[in-house]
């Protein structure tokens, strides 16, 4: 099946290895995409694990899971990226996540996410709603 993140690749060749811990995103965009796919599949443990320890305390598993499961995740659109390449330590990704909420309303979550790499691993730090 095509990956939830709309890369056009198979889920098994795209976000799935990151979510199940068999691979490591090389770029901030790959991590961002896999976090979207994690929302789409309610992979809460991965969402927490890929959040930087400094901001992880602002997220709790239960509310993440409720939000992930109450929405139907439709589509991801990556608008732009800055840095976040394998050689970088920081990067940002602007994206739109399209979903249908629990009231059946179409919603667009437009965010600029910040990422930081430590010990060769990318983490989501925080996001600004646009």
Quick one: which of 83, 78, 77, 70 has its CA closest to 115?
Answer: 83
Applying CB under 5 A, among 1, 2, 3, 84 the residue interacting with Zn ion is: 3
Count of residues touching Zn ion (by CB under 5 A):
6
Q: Which stretch binds Zn ion (CB under 5 A): 1-9, 55-63, 65-73, 102-110?
A: 1-9
Give the whole-angstrom CA distance, residue 30 versus residue 32. Answer: 5
CA distances from 99 to 26, 28, 69, 84, 86 (A): 27, 22, 11, 26, 30
Residue 35 in the binding site for Zn ion (CB under 5 A): no
Give, to the nearest 10 degrees, the angle between helix 61-70 and helix 28-40: 70
Query: Given the complex with Zn ion, which of 5 and 31 has the nearer CB atom?
Result: 5
* x/- letters, 12..31, toward Zn ion (CB under 5 A): --xx----------------
Residue 33 in the binding site for Zn ion (CB under 5 A): yes
Give the whole-angstrom CA distance, residue 48 versus residue 96. Answer: 21
Give the whole-angstrom CA distance, residue 59 versus residue 20. Answer: 20
Paired residues of 117 in beta bridges: 122
Q: Which stretch binds Zn ion (CB under 5 A): 6-14, 21-29, 99-107, 112-120?
A: 6-14
Residue 97 in the binding site for Zn ion (CB under 5 A): no
Taking the complex as a whole, how short is the minimal distance between the CB of residue 7 and Zn ion, in angstroms?
A: 5
| Interface positions with Zn ion (CB under 5 A) | 3, 5, 7, 14-15, 33
């Amino acid at each position: 099946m095509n990956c939830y993140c709309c890369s056009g690749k198979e889920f098994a060749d795209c976000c799935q290895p990151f979510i199940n811990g068999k691979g490591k995103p090389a770029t901030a965009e790959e991590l961002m995409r896999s976090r979207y796919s994690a929302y789409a599949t309610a992979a809460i443990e991965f969402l927490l694990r890929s959040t930087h320890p400094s901001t992880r305390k602002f997220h709790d598993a239960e509310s993440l899971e409720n939000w992930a499961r109450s929405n139907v995740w439709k589509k991801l659109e990556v608008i732009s990226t800055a840095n976040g390449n394998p050689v970088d330590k920081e990067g940002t990704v602007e994206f739109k996540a399209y979903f249908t909420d629990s009231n059946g309303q179409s919603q667009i979550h437009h965010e600029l996410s910040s990422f930081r790499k430590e010990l060769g691993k990318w983490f989501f730090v925080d996001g600004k709603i646009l």
